[in-house]
A and B are shown apart, each in its own frame.
Chain A
Amino acid sequence: MPLLKIDSLEIEVEKGTTVLQAAMVNGIEIPYYCYHPALEIVGSCRMCLVEVEGMPKLQVSCNTFVGEAPPERKIEGKYDMVVNTHNDLVIQERKNVLEFLLLNHPLDCPVCDQAGECYLQDYSFKFGNAHSRFDEDKRVRPNEYLGSQIVINHNRCILCSRCIRFTREISGTSELFVEARGNKSKIAALEDKPLDNLLAGNVADICPVGALLSTDYIHKNRIWNLKKQPSVCQDCSVGCNVDVFYQKDKILRLTPRENHDVNGYFMCDIGRYGFHRFEDLDRITTPMARSNGSFSAVSWDEAIRKTADKLGDEGAKIAGIVSPFHTNETNFMLGQIINGPTGTLPQMNDEEIIYQSGFRISNDRSPNRRGMSDVCPALLEDLVSEIDNQDVRMIYVLDDGIDREIDDVWKKILAKMDFVVVQTYAMTTLAQSANIILPGPAPYEREGTITNDGGRVQWLRPSLPMKGESRADWEILMMVMKALDKDAQDFTDIGQVMKDMGEKFPAYDGLSFFRLGPHGMSLNGRANG
């Protein structure tokens, strides 16, 4: 492997590695704008210039590939390439480029949403000049909408062309282009072909400055006020890795988190803006019991006792409705309680979309169908006849919180039931037919593991606190279990549920949040995986 010397560091790198990549991996900072690992290299921002020994010009490190030098051309007899990333020449060149980039920039950081995570701001502090030498009038242009969700502030744009390359190479939709030429150049979209594809939100993420903004987040908050929680998107079975930015009990935005086994660098707008669904939802925050056709709040003790009294009837068969929207642990726990047939609510299918780059939005818009089937293997297609056969009179439903119309099949099932328990977070039509409602957390409040359709188990981490008296889903089920059987195993945290689940389902053996880490773990090759 070629031996590369960057500054004082000697490293062996794969042939064909760029200097920029080698530097990044080894903790040497080379500033850059136009380079993005998922996009074609254009080398136009000129920010990543470094000195390469033996080359008269400074080289853009994003497009300088380290190769094997013939023995007679090795530097100092051993190096295939020697790179200097912070000598006077390079430092001065960075100052020069930053000076150019800031000529027409409005320097409006105090009102800019990018402030705090802006590469123009960061690099100016680190590498730039303290004063501007530009005595002329700045070029000023009005903001424009590129699509219904994306607005561009041309004055802040540095024309790195990342957004253009994104629409050409990743989404394959090519809405964006450069209009005009030279200093008049600007990012534009045609009026009759706006930037309205389902990946559009990503251009605001990959914009290194505050030029492209999502209308959903613009002027809402400042980034340093927000907490960031790495988690997993729950809007389809792909399970894109995300960072959830939230303040107190409110999510402000979602951004994709890099995971090359799942989503690469991006996410779709369905997931990105999906969290709004839970904002104005009429939430159930206390246990409720129905008497005489109306619900009244009851204490947890009472709710659990009422539930256990009914379910615990000698010889009673209990049907269970597990849910692909719930975690593996929750579904597993329900599987442990019920003794009758198991089913799930009808799947709600949507369009499957696969983009040019292979980025996929699954037709199955539930996040955990695979995991649910793994830990509840006895799922029935035809639940109705089995309920008839076994004369089941009680049902425990893990509700997915989606307010769907109840079809005839379900009406029939519910009509048969003497006792219905619904564990949910919203007053859905289904919940209204319950005898007891047990309040659980909504998505983004839940913790556990979910398995995507590629068989990757991922750590779903909670971002928001649970509302009111609601409790973790596995905890509710454990309370019910304990009430039914005093000798049942006592779980004090979700890790123990996972351990028990692993014992019963070997594919999930040895699972822990620690082992899953930020990028999850593939079930492929594991027993019954």
Chain B
Amino acid sequence: MSTFEPVLTSNITKENSHTLDFYQSIGGYSAIKKVLSMSPLEVIDVVKASNLRGRGGAGFPTGLKWSFVPKDSEKPIYLINNADESEPGTFKDRLLMNKAPHQMLEGMIIASYAIGCHTSFIYIRGEFYREYMLLEKVVAEAYENNLLGDNILGSDYSLDVVIHRGAGAYICGEETGLIESLEGKRGWPRIKPPFPAIEGYLQCPTVVNNVETLSCLPHIITRGADWFQSIGPEKGPGPRLFCVSGRVKNPGVFEEPMGIDLKDLIFEKAGGITNDNKLKAVFPGGSSSAILTAAEAIDVKMDFEELAKKKTMLGSAGVIVMDETVDMVHACLNIARFYAHESCGQCTPCREGTTWLVKMLTRMVKGRGTLKDINMLFEITDNIGGLIDFSKGSYGKTICPFGEAVAWPIRSFVEKFKDEFIKYLPQEKVAA
């Protein structure tokens, strides 16, 4: 573990790391040469063997996702690069786009080749205007150098890349919401089945991959699946970008192996808690993950399995640190406001439930809560997204995972910091 060397972000501090010249000088675009000599199925097999799991949030095995695309499809196949990074506490894709855009583009070419796609999209978050302007240049550069367009590098494989800007909705980062938005419609997630791999963009087979997932691909191809598989835990290996923010001395993106101790991440990489305050709670994987208390946080490894055991998730690996100065009820209200604002409004539980939570929490913060409300917070969150234990019928109450993304963190706040919620109740009501 001590020998871990960053690969995705190894060159981001260098000058002009975003240029094609620089990327080629460090051996960039050699992976696609290799890939173009392989068959698409071989590429999928390598990625499957690497056990790469999606970096966007759900952690779905990438190779498996690709293999769902029908091999004999008469319709065109599309790859969408999900660059709509909007999970609170997550800012890794932006860094990759800013500093290593060609790495991402090479990953897109590899993925497109593997699934047989000839038109690929970058769905970039609307607010990322600078990154958008940069990517336009990067893509143009790639076209000029025959890395995109017809007959890439003299092969008979052709690929076009189109950049599409989002319009500022969190839900458009959800893959079917993204596809709807890309089609020019309202970003309302679609009901599944059919899954995007069968009927996605324009009812054609579509794969949606995250920026970081795609950025891993050139390295997997160059260094081999065994190399990737050897980093971190077996069931979810590889390097991972951890975004540490909140009450830490040195917030930022840290590339570390999967399975790093959360404690190390916070106290070593991010330099510890601001003012050396006491750690109170941590979101391990963006605001959609259930929070961990300090006791839980110092004793957990950042990998899919370990965090699932703690009834939370690795998500987008956006680590948000809260120290003793943080008021958990206000923090909870803040999270609830975010989700109420971003709920697309399609499914009943999410549309109505999120606003109910905000109204109730606001009332509690103003000192007009009752003991019953605390119980109701559990009930409402359970009815929007259910428990985190995945027991039968306890989740999947909405079309997309937004329901769970609201319910899990809010439930964890109330569950783990109930005392603070009770402190907000008018005293006479507590006594009664």
Contacts and interface: CB of A to CB of B under 8 A. Distances in A.
Contacts of A183: 340, 343, 345, 351-352, 354-355
A58 B398 CA distance: 10
B191 A41 contact: yes
Contacts of B348: 44-47, 97, 100-101, 158-159
Contact of B383 (A56, A96, A136, A185): A96
Contacts of A101: 348, 352
Given A41-B191, A96-B383, A182 B356 contact: no
A220 interface: no
Contact of A57 (B349, B383, B396): B396
A182 B345 contact: yes
Interface stretch (B30-38, B153-161, B202-210, B387-395): B387-395
B353 interface: yes
Given A63-B193, A137-B359, A96 B349 contact: yes
Interface string A89-114: 11001001101110110000000000
B347 interface: yes
A332 B100 CA distance: 85
B191 A51 contact: no
Nearest to A87: B393
A56 B169 contact: no
Given A43-B191, A56-B392, A63-B193, A181 B344 contact: yes
B399 A56 contact: no
B356 A136 contact: yes
B345 A100 contact: no
B397 A93 contact: yes
A303 interface: no
B395 A46 contact: no
Contacts of B342: 181-182
Interface in A141-172: 158-159, 161
Contacts of A131: none
B191 A100 contact: no
A246 to B, nearest CB: 36
B363 interface: yes
- The prevalent SS among residues of A at the interface is loop
Most chain A CB atoms below 10 A, which of B340, B341, B383:
B383
A46 B398 contact: yes
Nearest to A164: B186
A41 B343 CA distance: 20
Contacts of A99: 383
A42 interface: yes
Contacts of A133: 376, 379
Contacts of B345: 159, 178, 180-185
B284 to A, nearest CB: 23
Contacts of A134: 356
A177 interface: yes
Contacts, number: 108
A5 to B, nearest CB: 18
A161 B353 CA distance: 19
Nearest to A102: B352
B136 to A, nearest CB: 28
Nearest to B341: A182
B346 interface: yes
B355 A46 contact: no
A63 B399 CA distance: 11
A182 B348 CA distance: 10
A46 B399 CA distance: 8
A63 B191 contact: yes
A19 interface: no
B360 interface: yes
Nearest to A184: B345
A127 B37 CA distance: 61
A158 B169 CA distance: 22
Contacts of B373: 135
A42 B180 CA distance: 13
B403 to A, nearest CB: 9
A394 interface: no
A178 B186 contact: yes
Contacts of A182: 340-345, 351, 354-355
Interface in A7-42: 41-42
Nearest to A137: B359
B196 to A, nearest CB: 15
Contacts of A161: 346
A159 B351 contact: yes
A311 B94 CA distance: 95
Nearest to A42: B191
A134 B353 CA distance: 11
A100 B348 CA distance: 7
A184 B398 CA distance: 18
Contact of B393 (A58, A60, A178, A185): A58
Interface string B387-427: 00010110111110000000000000000000000000000
A365 B214 CA distance: 62
A56 B347 contact: no
A167 to B, nearest CB: 14
Nearest to B370: A135
A362 B345 CA distance: 39
A177 B186 contact: yes
Contacts of A46: 347-349, 397-398
Contacts of B356: 100, 103, 134, 136
Interface in B156-209: 169, 186, 188, 191, 193
Given A101-B352, A181-B345, A182-B351, A43 B399 contact: yes
Contacts of B397: 46, 49, 57-58, 93, 96
Given A57-B396, A60-B191, A100 B346 contact: no
Nearest to A97: B348
Given A159-B345, A178-B345, A185 B191 contact: no
7 contacts: A47-B348, A56-B392, A101-B352, A135-B373, A159-B351, A181-B341, A185-B351
The 8 closest A-B pairs by CB, nearest first: A57-B396, A185-B345, A183-B355, A43-B191, A182-B343, A100-B352, A136-B359, A96-B383
Given A44-B346, A182-B351, A182-B354, 10 more contacts: A56-B390, A57-B397, A89-B393, A90-B393, A93-B397, A100-B351, A158-B348, A181-B341, A183-B352, A183-B354
